[in-house]
Amino acid sequence: MQRILSSRLSAHVGETVRVAGWIHRRRLLKSVAFLILRDAAGLTQIVVSEESVRAQLETLLEETAVAVIGTVIEEPSAPGGVEITSPVIEPLTDPAEPVPFDLYRPDLRASLPTMLDHAPVALRHPKLAAVHRIGAAAVGGFRTALEAMSFVEIHTPKIVGTATESGANVFKLDYFGRPAYLAQSPQLYKQIMVGVFERVYEVGPVFRAEPSDTARHLASYTSLDAEMGFIEDHRDVIAACHATVAGMLADIQAKAGPSLELLDVAMPALTEKPVVVHFADVLEMISKATGEDVTAEPDLAPAHERWIGEWALREHGSDFVFVEGYPTAHRAFYTHPDPARPGYSRAIDLIFRGLELVSGGQRLHRHADYVRTLTERGETDLSAYAGYLDAMRYGMPPHGGFAFGLERFLARLLDVPNIRQVTLFPRDLHRLAP
Ligand code: AMO
């Protein structure tokens, strides 16, 4: 007999069906017992009146995987408006051991470390699972939006010979006796691939040996990268990034509606045109507003990001604000300076609800500029960059791109204080399992 998912049962009233899932909860009342079955689509109420089936249910603990054959009847008070009666229960595994938490309660009552230690079971909680359904929809939206703009998906090596973002936070490894690193980003490869496809994107893991314990840094996160050629300047990158955010939000709403509802998510406000403010103006505004002169700061501190996030919401009704023009010296070597404003660059960040979500901007594209910049930054041996520099040597158009951290996006979207709450199996200073 074909298995029917919980969400489809209402189309089978009066029929005998087979359902399968996990025992979410047992309610053993005096006269009757209920088995609440959980499958990928939701919950099903199964009414157990027969003595022998009840005795069997008493031996089967929560989270045992079972199949049930029974009759579907209408029951307005049950999930989906139907329930199953006269069940025959077939355990699909040995009876489970007692689980460390009550997964049937509306919220998982456990500390974050306990939840993470028991992630394989904790993630079955409908609210935790909902987080990652929203994540899946966000990634789907990222792909759809970029494909619609003619970006081509690529997959680049995660074991690399050069650090891309900075030398400090790379994981070193032994590569057949040679030193190698885990990729901190697909930066160099996505730029190289602009020379092939003009527009490329990648979804994949990246690795940062973050030495400190913060609520917004992981040692491994999912990077959503894009890179595009033949741009005028970084404003073209902002436009593409803004359209990508719109696509992600649209797909989340279209594909993860029930999860958004379960988690009571307030969808962010995105204005039709991007809100853009220059780095120097941000510091100017903050100095004016707080009375503390921060105009000489080389970067935005977390408190500054929060400030500009609140400003964007107050002044423009937007949960997103692009900051352009970060000081060149504080950005990666591939950053394109702003020819009109010495010291400032065409680098951008996108701040989402007060947290940096995206970095990007226009890149250098002339071979000579790379040689000069790398040398000025103290790189003595450019052979590590040979392939990358070849791409620049043989005709690279003006180009730029951006990268989102998926977990950061989810943390702000779902308004959780710690990025680990929205990461499937977080990796940090202290955690390597599960
Ligand atoms: P950057 O290093 O700023 O830029 O990273 C881009 C985005 O990735 C997220 N992120 C992180 N998320 C979780 N844990 C971390 N340790 C972590 N580090 C970064 C943030 C950040 O905005 N190559 C450039 C991108 C580009 O210019 O295209 C880069 O990697 O959301």
Q: What is the pLDDT of residue 384?
A: 87
Does any domain span residue 60?
Answer: yes
Q: Is position 205 within any domain?
A: no
| Domain end point (choices 81, 98, 115) | 98
What residue owns the CA closest to ligand 1's atom 16?
217
CATH of the domain at 82: 2.40.50.140
Fill in the amino acid letter for 168.
Answer: A
Overall average pLDDT of the 208-219 stretch: 93
Q: Whose CA is nearest to atom 4 of ligand 1?
A: 359
242 CB near ligand 1 (under 6 Å): no
Domain boundary among 98, 116, 135: 98
Q: Are residues 277 and 392 in the same domain?
A: yes
Mean of the pLDDT values across residues 191-217?
96
Q: Is residue 338 part of a domain?
A: yes
Tokens standing for 275?
């809100």
Say if residue 349's pLDDT is above 80.
yes
Residues 216, 359 within the same domain: yes
Same domain, 89 and 130: no
User: What's the confidence (pLDDT) of residue 401?
Assistant: 99
407 lines ligand 1 (CB under 6 A): yes
Same domain, yes or no: 366 and 291? yes
CA of 150 to the centre of ligand 1 (A): 23
d(CA 337, CA 366): 13
pLDDT, mean of residues 213-242 = 97
Question: Would you say the CB of residue 408 lies under 6 angstroms from ligand 1?
Answer: yes
Q: Which of the two residues, 257 and 166, has the higher pLDDT score?
A: 257
**More confidently predicted of 384 and 105:** 105
Question: Does the Cβ of 187 fall within 6 Å of ligand 1?
Answer: yes
Q: Whose CA is nearest to atom 30 of ligand 1?
A: 185
Contact indicator for 137, 251 with CB cutoff of 8 Å: yes
Query: For 396-426, how does the pLDDT look when each residue is reduced to its tens digit (9 = 90+)?
Result: 999 999 999 999 999 999 999 999 999 999 9
Residues 57 and 134 in one domain: no
Q: Is the pLDDT of residue 166 over 90?
A: no
Counting ligand 1 atoms within 8 A of each CB, the residue from 221, 241, 428 with the most, and so the one to mutate, is 221
> 134: CA distance to ligand 1 center in Å?
20
Q: Would the pLDDT of 431 be above 90?
A: yes
Give residue-wise pLDDT tens across range 236-253: 999 999 999 999 999 999
Q: Is the CB of 234 under 6 A from ligand 1?
A: no
Q: Please tell me the residue having the least CA distance from ligand 1 atom 1.
A: 359
d(CA 344, CA 367): 21
- pLDDT per residue over 16-29, tens digit each? 999 999 999 999 99
CA 358 to chain centre: 12
Mutate to test the pocket of ligand 1, among 346, 362, 408 (most ligand atoms within 8 A of CB): 408
Distance 221 CA to ligand 1 centre (A): 9
Residue stretches of the annotated binding site: 165, 208-210, 216-218, 356, 359, 363, 405-408
- Co-location of 89 and 139 in the same domain: no
Assess whether 255 and 329 both reside in one domain. Answer: yes
pLDDT band at 96; cut points 50, 70, 90: confident
**CATH code where residue 367 lies:** 3.30.930.10
The domain tally of the chain equals 2
Residue with tokens 């005096």: 30
Is 384 part of any domain? Answer: yes
- Output the average pLDDT for the chain: 96
Spatial separation of the C-alpha atoms in residues 426 and 433, rounded to whole Å: 8
CB 363 within 8 A of CB 334: yes
Domain span including residue 399: 126-151+212-422
The reply to whether 218 and 273 lie within a common domain is yes
Whole-number Å distance between alpha carbons of 281 and 292: 15
Cα separation, 123 vs 141, whole angstroms: 23
Peptide bond into 434 cis (omega under 30): yes
CA of 358 to the centre of ligand 1 (A): 7
Domain-located, residue 198: no
Quickly tell me which residue has 């591939």 as its tokens: 334
CB neighbours of residue 76 within 10 Å: 7
Question: From ligand 1's centre to the CA of 356, what distance in Å?
Answer: 9
Render 240-284 in DSSP notation, one character per residue: HHHHHHHHHHHHHHHH-HHHHHHTT--PPP--SSPPEEEHHHHHH
Same domain, 92 and 222: no
What is the model's pLDDT at position 163? 77
**pLDDT computed for residue 212 by the predictor:** 85
Long-range contacts of 250-255 (CB under 8 A, 24+ apart): 250/141, 251/137, 251/138, 251/140, 251/141, 251/144, 251/145, 252/134, 252/137, 252/138, 252/141, 252/413, 254/137, 255/136, 255/137, 255/140
Answer yes or no: is the C-beta of 186 below 6 A from any ligand 1 atom.
no
Pick the atom of ligand 1 nearest to 347's CA: 27
Q: Domain check: are 217 and 286 in the same one?
A: yes
Asked if 226 and 333 sit in the same domain, the reply is yes
Ligand 1 proximity of 297 Cβ (cutoff 6 Å):
no
Identify the residue whose C-alpha is closest to ligand 1 atom 2: 165
Residue 308 belongs to some domain of the structure: yes
pLDDT at position 167: 66
pLDDT-derived band at 347, boundaries 50, 70, 90: very high
Q: Is residue 168 part of a domain?
A: no
Cβ–ligand 1 distance for 209 under 6 Å, the answer no
Residue 360, ligand 1, Cβ within 6 A: yes
Please tell me whether residues 224 and 78 are part of one structural domain: no
